[in-house]
Amino acid sequence: MRERNPFLCKKGFYVTEMNFGDCPGDGYKLLSTTDLRGPFKTLKRAQEVFKSMITKEEWNFGIRGPEHSRENQSYKTIWYPTLAQNSY
């Protein structure tokens, strides 16, 4: 699997493993990502694949795609809901 800069993604959706760790002086944060599946043309398809991959309630996986603004938020994000709904 290739390491990509997730912020450069302009199209497509990916099921992505999020690798967190403790950074001295900065706390617990996202250190890197690894794309496991994708690209998918639609968020709905990425959510279906995500659901079929995840069997436990706890996971370190997410869906990422092109940068966008979410409802009621003033900042942009590359992360999308993992469930077929508009919010977490």
pLDDT in tens, 10-29: 789 999 888 888 878 877 88
The rounded distance, in Å, linking the Cα atoms of 24 and 50 is 32
| Residue 32 within a domain | yes
Query: How many domains does one find in the chain?
Result: 1
| Residue 18 within a domain | yes
- pLDDT of the residue at 77: 86
Q: Which domain holds residue 60?
A: 11-80
Is the pLDDT at 83 greater than 90? The verdict is: no
Which of the four pLDDT bands, split at 50, 70 and 90, describes residue 87? very low
Q: Give residue 13's Cα distance to chain centre.
A: 8
For the stretch 50-66, pLDDT in tens is 888 876 666 778 889 98
